[in-house]
Chains A and B, each alone.
Chain A
Amino acid sequence: MRLPPSARALPALFKVGFSEAVAYRAEFLVWMFSTTMPLIMLALWSAVARDAPVGRFGQKEFVAYFLATFIVRQLTGSWVAWEMNYEIRHGTLARRLLRPIHPMLMYAVQNLAAQPLRLVVALPMAVLWLASVGTGQLSRDPVLWMAWAAAMLGSWLVTFFSSFAIGSLSFFMESSVKIMDVWLTLFFVFSGYLIPVELFPPAVRTLGDWLPFRYQIGLPVELMTSAHDRHAALALLARQWAWVALLLLGALWLWRRGLRRFAAYGG
């Protein structure tokens, strides 16, 4: 049986992406350290919880929550919007178009190839997380852990597809990066990155449930900290994957429409 050429190219692309990440390891490290926001929020919320717990969150719960946030952000990040913006404006996207693989797949593999390096930071954090939570507190329900794995994948896909869609906007406008900034601003508020979504007033919570941002960070973190029972977890997971599907369609549509307008400046 012969695999299609794109499938055979994937391992090679993965290798290239990994070597790239290793080659720029200093830069990579700086990137990783610039996502230390959860640790600062951890300090803040611990200070808040010092006198009395907030909702179900005592100091210990906040530690578990924000360490989990750090891990999830490390492993589900995507910067494809910036890369696409750069390549479209400089015309270097032409190089990708020449290859017989859909550029979206190329970007995705490149993104995933950096993940092993991110584990270098995420794993010690995970050990720290386990130590802080205590293994006794972990959920014993295998369904919930499977849901967590699916939620991690889903959260990367939501991030990647939304980033890809915004990157595709560079075909239409000079500064899609600005749109990315707006997205990120909303992401910081609604994703549970700075504030656990439970702590929002009910109206804001409902709004957040319908927006995609919570499914980028909040859902996997909540599953890690056993905030949901089976039923609730699966319902939220369904919403997340609905967003995955919607964003995939949107991203592909924008890409197709945009590509027609593409002209490689300067070749």
Chain B
Amino acid sequence: MSLPRYWRLLRAQVRASTLTLLQYRFDFLADGFLEILWASTSLVPLFVVFRTRESVAGWSFGEALLVTGWFILLQGILEGAINPSLTSVVEHIRMGTLDFVLLKPADAQFLVSTAKFQPWRATNILTAGVVFVYAFHLIGRSPSLAGLIAAVFLLFSSTLLLYSMWILTVSAAFYVVKIDNLSFLFSSIFDAARWPSTIFRGGLSFVFTFVIPLALMTTYPALALLGRLHGSTLLLALTGSILFALLARVVWLASIGKYTSASS
């Protein structure tokens, strides 16, 4: 199994899903518009909160905007590249059509993970960019080079985390089948990531740092951009997410061993 071959395969898959979506041109435009609307409404609570005060839990408006920017960015990745594919796996498992995927001469996890993309979610990346620029304009300085590099690494690790959590969820579908609404549960929990993690106290704070590491996904990258993240935290986040991905891989392999088609 060579890397160039998988690269070609990935390109083919992205092309196929883009072409499928372009068939529905109105939808394509409507979705782009909807994305921007959705992203901008996610800023509304922030504006209302900071209308009444300068800082909340130690975060100024500009700094909190950075966290929301990361949230918008990651949501774009989650719903553009991760969510659609994996939702279709659940469907495959239920209908028994996963057989066709398993028969193909390529790694099944790779195939199901790249089955479907929703390219218009890329508008989220633009929106996030605008938010970042505005946030740094408010803060009154630009991020350091080291901060930027750290943020890129964290982007990698949070994408990996999101993806692994999804793989684990899908693995559960081999056992309980009817879980298509887990994606809603997942996104509603993920919604908490739009706020700096320090506003959560007690139990919630523990859950969002260690169980569902939302803090790592949006708050740490924002801290990195601000130059406030320790190098050791960065290292820990990277190792943690790689280990988590490996764990997800092991669980996936174990669950797919349990798969017994639908009709047999």
Instruction: Select one of A36, A175, A182, A195 contacting B44, CB under 8 A.
Output: A195
Q: For chain A, what secondary structure do more than half of its interface residues adopt (helix, strand, loop), or is it mixed? A: helix
For residue A200, CB closer than 8 A to chain B, the reply is yes
* Bound CA span A243–B119, Å: 38
B180-217 to A contact mask, C-beta < 8 Å, 1/0: 01101101110110010001110010000000000000
User: Which residue of chain B has the shortest Cβ distance to A53 in the bound complex?
Assistant: B52
User: Nearest chain A CB to B185's CB is how many angstroms away?
Assistant: 4
Residues on A with beta carbons closer than 8 Å to the beta carbon of B41: 185-186, 188-189
Interface code B21-65, partner A: CB below 8 Å = 1, 0 otherwise? 000100100110010011001001100110111001100000000
Q: Is the C-beta of B251 less than 8 angstroms from some C-beta in chain A?
A: no
B258 within 8 A of A: no
Given A48-B49, A189-B41, A201-B51: A43 touches B188 (CB 8 Å cut-off):
no
Residues of B within 8 Å of A43, CB to CB, are 192, 199-201, 204
B184 touches A30 (CB 8 A): yes
Say yes or no: is A44 at the interface (Cβ < 8 Å to chain B): yes
- At the interface, yes or no: A264 with Cβ under 8 Å from chain B? no
Please tell me if the beta carbons of B37 and A185 are within 8 angstroms of each other in the complex.
yes
The residues of A that contact B182 with a CB separation of less than 8 Å are 30
Q: Secondary structure at chain B's binding surface: helix, strand, loop or mixed?
A: helix
Q: How large is the interface on B (under 10, 10 to 19, 20 to 34, 35 or more residues)?
A: 20 to 34
Asked if A199 is at the interface of the complex by the 8 Å CB criterion, the answer is yes
A223 → B minimal CB distance (Å): 22
Query: What CA separation (Å) do A44 and B56 show in the bound complex?
Result: 9
Q: Is B228's CB within 8 Å of the partner chain A?
A: no
Once the chains bind, are B48 and A200 in contact (CB under 8 Å)? Answer: yes
* Interface membership of A210, Cβ < 8 A: no
A26 touches B24 (CB 8 A): no
Contact yes or no, B188 A34, CB < 8 A: yes
A30 in contact with B188 (CB, 8 Å): no
Q: Tell me which residues across on chain B come within 8 A of A188, comparing CB atoms.
A: 41
Q: Known interface pairs A40-B192, A48-B53, A199-B48. Does A174 touch B24 (Cβ–Cβ under 8 Å)?
A: yes
Return the 7 tightest CB-CB contacts between A and B, nearest first: A47-B199, A34-B188, A34-B185, A34-B184, A40-B192, A47-B57, A54-B52
A143 to nearest B CB, angstroms?
Answer: 32
Residues from chain B with a CB closer than 8 A to the CB of A141 are none
B interface residues, Cβ below 8 angstroms from A: 24, 27, 30-31, 34, 37-38, 41, 44-45, 48-49, 51-53, 56-57, 176, 178-179, 181-182, 184-185, 187-189, 191-192, 195, 199-201, 204
Residue in contact with B189 in the complex, picked from A36, A189, A194, CB distance below 8 Å: A36
A253 within 8 A of partner (CB): no
* Known contacts A30-B179, A34-B185, A195-B44; is-contact A48 B52 (Cβ 8 Å): yes
Cross-chain contact B188 with A37 (CB below 8 angstroms): yes
A31, CB-defined interface residue at 8 Å: yes
Q: Please, which residue of chain A has its CB at the minimum distance from the CB of B185?
A: A34
CB distance from B46 to the nearest CB of A (A): 10
Q: List 26 A-B contacts (CB under 8 A).
A: A24-B178, A30-B181, A30-B185, A31-B181, A33-B188, A34-B187, A35-B188, A36-B189, A43-B204, A44-B195, A44-B199, A45-B49, A48-B49, A48-B52, A54-B52, A174-B27, A178-B27, A181-B38, A185-B38, A189-B41, A189-B44, A194-B44, A195-B45, A199-B48, A199-B52, A201-B51
